[in-house]
Amino acid sequence: ILNVEQSPQSLHVQEGDSTNFTCSFPSSNFYALHWYRWETAKSPEALFVMTLNGDEKKKGRISATLNTKEGYSYLYIKGSQPEDSATYLCAFHAGTASKLTFGTGTRLQVTL
């Protein structure tokens, strides 16, 4: 059983704050690490697919880094806005199989 952990479980920040959360995953048999954003009552939306150690991806105010040797990825949100409120999921893609193993997510709430 693959162990994918996310921390913190939940986070409450004010508008304008910058924040970050962590995804840890097995450091062996790595293929890719996915980040998803999941708003309540909507479909999870793919944010990033990261494959290379040291990779850094950016989409607007959101960015992510990847360390495959130590098995962690950080997601950063700069200047949080209320519309950033969602659950952020990471998913580990091992080896050549197509299936993903998900973490439990970090629930972010941004208030005015």
Partner 1 sequence: GAVVSQHPSWVICKSGTSVKIECRSLDFQATTMFWYRQFPKQSLMLMATSNEGSKATYEQGVEKDKFLINHASLTLSTLTVTSAHPEDSSFYICSALQGLAAKNIQYFGAGTRLSVL
- Residue 35 corresponds to which tokens in the numbers above? 């980040």
Among 77, 100, 108, 110, binds partner 1 (CB under 8 A): 100
Counting contacts by CB under 8 A, is residue 49 touching partner 1? Answer: yes
Report the half-sphere exposure of 71 (CA within 13 A, side-chain side): 15
Interaction of residue 12 with partner 1, rule CB under 8 A:
no
Contacts of 52 (CB under 8 A, 6+ apart): 66, 68
Comparison of 27 and 51: residue with beta carbon closer to partner 1: 51
Q: Which residues would be at the binding site for partner 1 (CB under 8 A)?
A: 4, 31-32, 34, 36, 41-46, 49, 51, 89, 93, 98-105
